[in-house]
Amino acid sequence: MDSKGVAAPAVPEVALQSGNARPMPAVGMGTAAFPMVHENTKNAVLAAIEVGYRHLDTASLYRTEKPVGEAVAEAVRRGLVQSREEVFVTSKLWGSQCHPDLVLPSLRESLQNLQMDYVDLYLVHWPVCLKPGPPKVPNKREDALPFNFEGVWRAMEECQRLGLAKAIGVSNFTTKHLEKILAVATIPPAVNQVELNPVWQQRTLRAYCDAKGIRVAAYSPLGGQNWDGTGNAVLESPVLAEIAKARGKTVAQVSLRWIYEQGVTSIVKSYNKERLKQNLEIFDWELTEEDRLKISQITQKKIIQVESLFTPEGEFTNLQMEYVDLYLIHWPVCLKPGPLGFPNKREDALPFDFEGVWRAMEECQRLGLARAIGVSNFATKHLKKVLAVATIPPAVDQVELNPVWQQRTLRDYCAAKGIRVAAYSPLGGQNWDGQGNSVLESPVLAEIAKARGKTVAQELDDAAAASAVVFASRYVQEPLPRYELGRKSISKDAAYQIIHDELLLDSSPRLNLASFVTTWMEPECDKLILEGINKNYADMDEYPNRCVNIIARLFNAPLSAGETAVGVGTVGSSEAIMLAGLAFKRRWQNRRKAAGKPHDKPNIVTGANVQVCWEKFARYFEVELKEVKLREGCYVMDPDEAVQMVDENTICVAAILGSTLTGEFEDVKRLNNLLAIKNMRTGWDTPIHVDAASGGFIAPFLYPELEWDFRLPLVKSINVSGHKYGLVYAGVGWVVWRNKEDLPEELIFHINYLGADQPTFTLNFSKGTQIIAQYYQFLRLGFEGYRNVMENCMESARILREGLERTGRFTVISKERGVPLVAFTFKGRDTALAFRLSAALRRFGWIVPAYTMPANLEHMAVLRVVVREDFGRTMAERFLSNVQMVLDELDDEAKGGPVPRMRFTIELGPPARGAGEEASVKVVKRESVVAVHRSVSLAGGKTKGVC
């Protein structure tokens, strides 16, 4: 109600299709006023809230955030609204803040001004980037910079993930700007706020936004004024005046009603309380079809033009070039700052900061100023230093290269690392003194050129054509189809470069701490993979057989000296588990049929911590999955409970050697002993399968005394992932059986169309060169090498675990004996912190999964860091440093949060003697206010697929 007790009109609301903001009221109050007078703005906002506005629009440029925040707080105190949550608040990011590293700090500054924990909507004010500085208008042309659409939007998405903005969007964006955002967005913009009214109707833009699920909001709905205060073609429109007179309405009401009927939100500015009230009186009547037709025929005129920054088309004109296709470090040499030139004095040479310089190069690419980055004149030792710290590897190494200086070693190294080599001085280099050209003067090249009827240079051009460095932008100007086959071919160089450039946008695999999958192998193995990439190892079973025999003996299979092991290579552990499960099911069915018993209800017993592929097996092959629930302090399958769940229909019990959730080894020996007793008592023959996907290549080397494998008589099959701690790239797994009797013969197929009789038992027929990579690792590392790698991984995990414990903020729930990973939770019950930490670490490039535990432990939110071979001490220390930085930020938010953390109940009494007219105040109640974190529960979802 307003101050006179009159009920404020109900303003319709619309749910945004992106983000998690409350529904947005259809009319909002704008606060752009130049010059801004603090008290006037505050009073106007209070008046707006009093008459029914629940949508307030501000911006860092307007400098109205503080009075808006004060007005909302005052409205809560007066009881005009019950809480800040009743008010939808929008703020905006100005062009001088449109830099990826400034977005989040700018929003934090806005929240500080507003004295709020979050804004409901945060918009990029214009598709304009300016030199960093205070928001202002007008701006100089030379202050304009290229707009890094991807980098800025990634930072905007981070604002939403952190909960500082409930939804994000843009303002003054045309369709072409929106296309650039949508091409890179994982969270699409919820709103596009643009100039829109009957005199500038934006039909094309509205149709585009509607198709993309973007809500359009209209500023200047009553006619825009330019920065100089001129122009208002809406309120002066004779067409609108005629309609208003006929309907008994104001021109402003006609314009606002028309905008509402177009499905657009109005942001209308008025500091007059009566007009504010009138502007809300538009929801209980409609325009006629004749009115709408007349309005559609109004001559269109755009008012808002930021001439100091834009041409009429909205693009910058002051820069000759917005980016370079490739930016290289010229030499691995650092000199004292000064003008460019050579030669240089030896005393000017400084140590080269490979990490610092490369980090700055990566920032150039992230900002879009360089489409790719690389080096020049770097030897392999220099490249190794860069690759050791790079999150974006160099695309190119430009070096002197020609027939007289062929750089074979460097070329091989670059090929293995995916670095393109570019040759300068291909026709022969000259030293700085102008002397020497042994290429054009080469008698060998002259002889070849003469025989071919070419010049020496032409021969070199022909030879170099296949390896010329190109960028796709030179060859492909039209957009290429993504989801259908193109009509025309493009050059091989352009195709390569397009895909290569897209791959550069992926996160660095080495910083993905969620994955167990190997991300690094030695260059020699990379070379073998490339050499064998055109071979199908389904028709060359020698190498798989060697690997199967090595693994079976590693797992202590009961094999005689010359006996061949039973097993098969697979695409990964998922296929391996499917095959093992099928063997158990068929073996169980055969026994049941022979005994004349029902065989249509098989089940399998596992812990609730199993990987999702077990659930897939059960569903695909119609086997009931009986899960042992986890409990506090016990995050793996309890063998006692598992054996209790076994019945005559149980085809096997699956034990996990290295839980996906915590890395812990399950007690397979106790499971074997308990199950053996039950089998003896019941006459059943329930076997065990060990899912050693993660731990199979760890336990034999670090814990050889641990009995978990074929040393236990009930263990009939084991699967292991070659692409985890088998140290091979993604795409290889293994399953081995105890002996031939454990793999029913009817599941094995025999083929001879590849030249010889071959038994086969796989779901996937073809196999790639990962088989060769696995054999290389077995041959190269041996027992000693694998043990050294695993010991190093465990040492890195120890450093990580102790560093996390030193913060005093975490409880580590993973065991020291198990897979080299660290699983940890925040102390206390605030599960939201885990997800906030996970999201914040992405700013540094780290991917750390946060997940809730399975049934019975859903209240636990866990973070997990997998330690692989390429995660050494240096990376662990850097990771811990980044974690501490994020924790400090979270602490700052908690300590300096703008919303009060205490609620006081006060009692007002008569003025104390000598206090004039001031009432006496007595605090009668004080209580803590606990912030509520809003999150969305996953209905029926499972977290055990984390890997």
Q: What ranges in 491-597 are assigned the alpha helix state H?
A: 492-504, 523-531, 542-554, 573-594
Locate tokens 């000598």: which residue? 914
Count of residues for the chain? 947
Is 125 designated active site? yes
Peptide bond before 132: cis, by omega within 30 degrees of 0? Answer: no
Which residue is catalytic, options 42, 55, 66, 125?
Answer: 125
Largest interatomic CA distance in the chain:
116
| Contact indicator for 380, 413 with CB cutoff of 8 Å | yes
Catalytic site includes residue 62: yes
Report whether 53 contacts 2 (CB < 8 A).
Answer: no
- CA 672 – CA 711 distance, rounded (Å): 10
Amino acid at residue number 91: S
Side-chain-side CA neighbours of residue 266 (13 Å): 31
Catalytic hit among 42, 92, 166, 177? 92
- How does strand 144-145 pair with strand 55-57? unpaired
Q: Active-site residue 92, yes or no?
A: yes
Integer Cα distance of 932 and 269 in angstroms: 33
Amino acid occupying residue 419:
I
Determine how many CB atoms are found less than 10 A away from the CB of residue 165: 28
Q: Concatenated DSSP letters for 269-328?
A: ----HHHHHHHTTTSS----HHHHHHHHTSPP------TTT--TTS---S-S-S-BS-EE
Place of tokens 């020699």: 524
Distances (CA, A) of 404 to 45, 443, 444, 578, 781: 77, 12, 10, 56, 38
**CA angle, 545 as apex, 786 and 615 as ends, to 5°?**
75
Q: How far apart are CA 151 and CA 124, in angstroms?
A: 12
CA separation for the pair 819, 658 (Å, rounded): 6
**Pick the catalytic residue: 62, 208, 729, 776?**
62
Return the SS3 of 792: helix
CA angle 339, 344, 347 (to 5 degrees): 110
Return the residue matching tokens 């866990």. 862
Residue 902's Cβ-side half-sphere holds a number of Cα atoms within 13 Å equal to 8
Q: How far apart (Å, rounded) are the C-alpha atoms in residues 463 and 461?
A: 5
Asked if 881 and 902 count as a contact pair (C-beta separation under 8 A), the reply is no
Mark out the alpha helices in 807-916 (DSSP H runs): 832-841, 873-896
564 vs 552: CA distance, rounded Å: 9
Give the amino acid at 652.
C
DSSP state of 740: G
Q: Which of 624, 622, 620, 659 has the alpha carbon at shortest distance from 645?
A: 624
CA distance 701 to 703: 6
Q: Cα–Cα distances in Å, from 560 out to 552, 592, 729? A: 12, 32, 32
Contact 656, 607 (CB under 8 A): yes
- DSSP string computed for 374-410: EEES--HHHHHHHHTT-SS--SEEEEE-BTTB--HHH
How far apart (Å, rounded) are the C-alpha atoms in residues 376 and 329?
6
Sheet of 396-400, strands arranged across:
327-329, 373-376, 396-400, 420-424
Catalytic residues: 57, 62, 92, 125
